[in-house]
């Protein structure tokens, strides 16, 4: 699996967009980018994933650069409840291994009033 690099921590003001970067320069063509988050003491929560096109759902948007070596998770209007550790994960999909995800240290996002 391609390794990912994320900043250890970020701050964001409530109501503003939170942009969380992730570098995955060794990503291969069949690897997807997944984002999860973990709110204190809870299990990780799936947010979004993508291959090469930008993706959007009710929680967030995922912007993947054209060369796929980096991506940005965007929370358009951050709230205090978005304070969490955000994990960027790169993984192939399919076969018997698709659900095996390697979680790194992630980015601690703190949303403040």
CB of 39 to another protein, least distance (A): 11
Helices (H) and strands (E) in the chain, counts: 0, 9
Query: At closest approach, how far in Å is the CB of 17 from another protein?
Result: 24
Which of 25, 30, 57, 105 touches another protein by CB under 8 A?
Answer: 105
Using the rule CB under 8 A, which residue among 13, 28, 93, 112 binds another protein?
Answer: 93
Burial class from Cβ neighbours inside 10 Å (0-12, 13-18, 19+) for residue 35 reads buried
- Contact present, 9 and 58 (Cβ < 8 Å): no
CA distance 87 to 108: 9
Stretch that binds another protein, among 13-21, 39-47, 64-72, 73-81 (CB under 8 A): 39-47
Among 14, 23, 74, 104, binds another protein (CB under 8 A): 104
Is there a contact between 61 and 53 (Cβ–Cβ < 8 Å)?
no
Residues forming contacts to another protein in the complex (CB under 8 A) are 32, 34, 36, 41-46, 49, 87, 89, 91, 93-94, 96, 98-106
């Amino acid at each position: 699996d391609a390794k990912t690099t994320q900043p250890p921590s970020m701050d964001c003001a409530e109501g503003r967009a939170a942009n969380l970067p992730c570098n995955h320069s060794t990503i291969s063509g069949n690897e997807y980018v997944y984002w999860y988050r973990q709110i204190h003491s809870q299990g990780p929560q799936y947010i979004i994933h993508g291959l090469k096109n930008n993706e959007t759902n009710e929680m967030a948007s995922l912007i993947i650069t054209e060369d796929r070596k980096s991506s940005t998770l965007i929370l358009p209007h951050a709230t205090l409840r978005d304070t969490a550790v955000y994990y960027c994960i790169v993984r192939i999909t399919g076969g018997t291994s698709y659900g095996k995800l390697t979680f790194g240290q992630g980015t601690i996002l703190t949303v403040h009033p």
